Amino acid sequence: MSNTKLFTYSLLIVALIAGSVHATTHFLDLKVYFSETVDYWFYIFNDLSLVYIIIPFFFIEIIRYAIVKRLGKDIILDSIANVITFGAFIVIEYILGLLAITKLYFWVHHNMSLEHLPLNIATIFGAILLADFAYYWDHRMMHRIGIGWATHTVHHSSEHFNMSVAYRFGPLDAVFPILFSLPIVMLGFDPLLVLAAEICVQVFQTLLHTEIIGKLPKPIEYIFNTPSHHRVHHGSNRQYWDKNYAGILIIWDRMLGTFEPEIETVRYGISEPLNSVNPIKVFFHGLTRFYKRFKDIKGFKNKLLLFIKPPDWSPSK
Report the pLDDT value the prediction gives residue 72, as an integer from 0 to 100: 76
Question: Residue 116: is its pLDDT beyond 50?
Answer: yes
* pLDDT higher at 27 or 101: 101
Question: Residue 28: is its pLDDT beyond 70?
Answer: no
**pLDDT digit string, tens, across residues 305-316:** 999 999 999 887
Question: Residue 76: is its pLDDT beyond 90?
Answer: no
Mean pLDDT for the chain? Answer: 82
Question: Residue 149: is its pLDDT beyond 90?
Answer: yes
Grade residue 176 by pLDDT with cuts at 50, 70 and 90.
confident
Q: What DSSP string runs through 186-221?
A: HTT--HHHHHHHHHHHHHHHHTT--SS--PPPHHHH
Report the pLDDT value the prediction gives residue 257, as an integer from 0 to 100: 96
Question: Residue 85: is its pLDDT beyond 80?
Answer: yes
pTM of the model: 0.80
**pLDDT digit string, tens, across residues 204-254:** 988 899 888 999 999 999 999 999 999 999 999 999 999 999 999 999 999
Report the pLDDT value the prediction gives residue 39, as an integer from 0 to 100: 59
Report the pLDDT value the prediction gives residue 34, as an integer from 0 to 100: 56
Report the pLDDT value the prediction gives residue 6, as an integer from 0 to 100: 43
Report the pLDDT value the prediction gives residue 275, as an integer from 0 to 100: 87
Does the CA dihedral 12-17-21-24 come out positive or negative? Answer: positive
Report the pLDDT value the prediction gives residue 2, as an integer from 0 to 100: 44
3-state SS string for the chain: CCCCHHHHHHHHHHHHHHHHHHCCHHHHHHHHHHHHHHHHHHHHHHHCHHHHHHHHHHHHHHHHHHHCCCCCHHHHHHHHHHHHHHHHHHHHHHHCCHHHHHHHHHHHHHHCCCCCCCCCHHHHHHHHHHHHHHHHHHHHHHHHCHHHHHHHHHHHCCCCCCHHHHHCCCCCCCCCHHHHHHHHHHCCCCHHHHHHHHHHHHHHHHCCCCCCCCCCCHHHHHHECCHHHHHHHCECCHHHCCCCCCCCECHHHHHHCCCCCCCCCCCECCCCCCCCCCHHHHHHHHHHHHHHHHHHCCCHHHHHHHHHCCCCCCCCC
List C-alpha distances in Å: 161 to 90, 258, 263. 22, 21, 17
Report the pLDDT value the prediction gives residue 24, as an integer from 0 to 100: 33
Report the pLDDT value the prediction gives residue 137, as an integer from 0 to 100: 97
Grade residue 258 by pLDDT with cuts at 50, 70 and 90.
very high
Report the pLDDT value the prediction gives residue 317, as an integer from 0 to 100: 60
What gap in Å lies between CA 270 and CA 192, rounded to an integer?
35
8 Å CB contact between 209 and 166: yes
Question: Residue 36: is its pLDDT beyond 90?
Answer: no
Report the pLDDT value the prediction gives residue 67, as an integer from 0 to 100: 73
Amino acid at 133: F
Report the pLDDT value the prediction gives residue 251, as an integer from 0 to 100: 97
In terms of average pLDDT, the best of 86-95, 106-115, 145-154, 167-176 is 145-154
